[in-house]
Structure 1
C-alpha cells in the first residue's frame, strides 16, 4: 500500500491519498478494510475511491463526497492504471469548499500517480 498523508490542507480540511494493486471486487473490499484498520482513516469524513478492474470494468464510491469518485476514475482511465485502487481521504474542517474540493481530489491523485511512477 502506497500512502501519502497530508497531501494538502484547505480551510481546516485535510487530504491524504492511498492506493495499491487489487484483484477484483474482493480485493477492493480487503484494501478498504485494511486502510480503515488505522483509526485515523476509519474516522475520516470521506474515503472516496475508484478502480478500473481488468475483468469487471470501472467501480467507484463517493463515500458522501458527491462527484469526487468520478474525478478519480477519469484520472485512472487516462493513466491506463488497471487493477489498482486509489483512495482520496478527507477530514472535513468545518468549512464547505465548494468546487475547490474537486481540485483537491485532482491534486491528491496527481501526487499519488507521481509517487507511483518513482517506485
Structure 2
C-alpha cells in the first residue's frame, strides 16, 4: 500500500466502486456529502492530509462542486480527478471510464476495466 496517497470521495458507494477497480491498496475516505469546518479539521488531522498526496474525486453536481471547492481551499496541494459531467455521479460512471481517470493519475487498475 502506498501510505502516502489518499483519495477523498463523497459516499460509500463511490468508495466501493473505486476499491472494485483499483489493483492496489489505497486509502479512500468518505466525506458523506458536504463537510462542516469541524469535520474537515478532524479529517485533516486524523489522516495527516497536509503531508500526503491527496486526490479528490467527487460528483459533478452542485454538492460535489461545493465539496471540491471547500477541500481545495484547505488542501491546495490536492490533485483533482474528474469524471465526465454526463455521468454526474462517481457511482454512476462506467468502470472503464473511471479506470482511465485513475490510470491518468498513475493508480494501478484491474486490466479487466481497461477495455
For Structure 1 versus Structure 2, the TM-score category normalised by the shorter chain is 0.3 to 0.5
What TM-score do the two structures reach when normalised by structure 1? 0.35
More strand by share: 1
Higher normalized contact order (CA 8 Å, seq sep 6+, divided by chain length): 1
What TM-score do the two structures reach when normalised by structure 2? 0.36
